[in-house]
Structure 1
């Protein structure tokens, strides 16, 4: 795979704590933080707990909330149109360059969608809300693909673990705003005001896109087909040519299962907090404010761990941590309305999520051919979210048929297939890849 980078970047080390501090001092660090903020901001509002909390708050049943969450499925399918992002600039903004043209177009569409969602009244009918969630998720997924490609191409492979942590900082701040910020605004000003303020905050990543530099296109190591079909076909054949069919399929399956225990409970988190007796202000303080900063701590711990030990051992540690953190929600379910139980569960959950997220980003980045950055990374990210998303869509029915406690125990046990697959992959994951993290 190509590891082309700027000549002046090549001798720079980004390993360990000093490397992460150095990454914050690079010219692209602030850009990555703001682009990460732009990716994190809409996610909770259109595809996760803030939206589900809003729907529960206005009286929708759990089954309907789970089904509505499927409207954000474009986040899972972004690899389908990612070849266009890899091959062409977006026509109306092509003057910005291939990566930034897509970024600006997607960010503007996200902003418009949030404004439209602000005025939806789901208690009167969900048709319009579902439509705008579809549009917003398409725009958000496109933005994510462009940001991921930008991050991988703006720095050498040795910087990716550090830049993943830098990006995560911005992403998590976006989650704070869309989580805690939106819930506080909804508590005291209503959901319309909350979504309008969030739409206004999208100005920050838009400005970053306009002021940032376009990455230098990597030197191609493959002969690209210039036809439309080739734009879609070559990124996938390149992945399997590099890894072989059996290993390639195993890697894709492993990525799809890695964060499954966490994603299974994602849609039900907001309703669970409300049903456990916590107010929207409690949820904002503990889950969306304290929890997100805890996640940032976990993300930086993951970056340090990958730099020190490589990602093979850290994949095992992260998978176990994500599964065990779900058991902490059992403690919370058995102690409803107890604020200490809320803090304990959120601490375990967000530390493990942050740690696992950085480890997975570094691992997936090492698998990506820079000739097809957006497509291959989008495929991996989509697979990382696909299984949990579909199970999350029916998770409301699972809770109603059993209980929250049974549901959380089940979600923790889903780590078993992941560990079995990792055992098979263990001798086949090259430790040398850790140098690319």
Structure 2
């Protein structure tokens, strides 16, 4: 019985030590940054559409935006070969991370104020571009994780912390999306 609490305490200590490393802490942030759009585009989006009264056939078409995640391999080689002139000095990976984050932020804020029933065309276009930007971000963060791995921040620790952030974002995105979109005053969460 006394071994379990001691092992748990060592586990928390190991996590704290890992997060003290700058690279690992960034992986946690990037994991959260990758998981949130994924949760919103492939989960909460359907709740928004359903709440707005969009018919099921139209909602089914929105499932195609998930293909951006399935076909990442098609454009991932381009990300190694192309630079963004204004962001070139950030480096090969970080320039794409910054661009994807800015694009995702703008798209998610815009989607939150659109009415899917009346602005369905814009809503679907922005959701597709957002899924593409999110998938691009995943590609670049995965490549950056491999690039920065060393003896102190090993690839398995970086991957574990990334997944922890990703899962936390999925929980937060799924649970709080209705509050983000409509405010919490007197509303029942849709997820």
Checking the alignment, whether the CA contact within 8 Å between 1:36 and 1:171 is kept in structure 2 is yes
Unaligned runs of 5+ in 1: 1-15, 191-278, 284-437
Which residue of structure 1 aligns with residue 189 of structure 2? 281
Q: TM-score, normalised by structure 2?
A: 0.80
Distance 1:92 1:282, change over 3 A: closer
CA distance in 2, matches of 1:185, 1:89: 34
Which residue of structure 2 aligns with residue 39 of structure 1? 34
CA distance in 2, matches of 1:60, 1:124: 10
Displacement after TM superposition at 1:189 (Å): 5.0
Distance 1:188 1:114, change over 3 A: closer
Checking the alignment, whether the CA contact within 8 Å between 1:36 and 1:169 is kept in structure 2 is yes
Return the match for 1:25 from 20, 24, 27.
20
Checking the alignment, whether the CA contact within 8 Å between 1:44 and 1:175 is kept in structure 2 is yes
Q: Does 1:179 align with 2:174?
A: yes
Which residue of structure 1 aligns with residue 3 of structure 2? none
Return the match for 2:91 from 88, 91, 97.
97
Q: CA RMSD in A?
A: 2.7
The 5 Å alignment of 1:261-276 reads none
Checking the alignment, whether the CA contact within 8 Å between 1:20 and 1:162 is kept in structure 2 is no
Displacement after TM superposition at 1:109 (Å): 0.9
Unaligned runs of 5+ in 2: 1-9
Q: TM-score, normalised by structure 1?
A: 0.37
Q: Does 1:58 align with 2:49?
A: no
Which residue of structure 2 aligns with residue 403 of structure 1? none
Q: Does 1:67 align with 2:61?
A: yes
Displacement after TM superposition at 1:45 (Å): 1.8
Displacement after TM superposition at 1:108 (Å): 0.8
CA distance in 2, matches of 1:101, 1:185: 28
Checking the alignment, whether the CA contact within 8 Å between 2:116 and 2:123 is kept in structure 1 is yes
Which residue of structure 2 aligns with residue 108 of structure 1? 102
Return the match for 1:122 from 107, 116, 126.
116
Distance 1:18 1:41, change over 3 A: closer
Q: Secondary structure at the match of 1:123?
A: coil
Q: Does 1:151 align with 2:145?
A: yes
Q: Does 1:131 align with 2:89?
A: no
Distance 1:117 1:149, change over 3 A: same
Aligned residues: 179
Distance 1:130 1:72, change over 3 A: farther
Answer 1 or 2: higher relative contact order, Cα 8 Å, separation at least 6. Answer: 2
Checking the alignment, whether the CA contact within 8 Å between 2:28 and 2:164 is kept in structure 1 is yes
Displacement after TM superposition at 1:156 (Å): 3.9
CA distance in 2, matches of 1:102, 1:146: 7
Q: Secondary structure at the match of 1:140?
A: helix
CA distance in 2, matches of 1:180, 1:187: 13
Which residue of structure 2 aligns with residue 356 of structure 1? none
Q: Which runs of 4+ in 1 moved over 4 A?
A: 16-20
Displacement after TM superposition at 1:37 (Å): 1.2
CA distance in 2, matches of 1:116, 1:187: 14
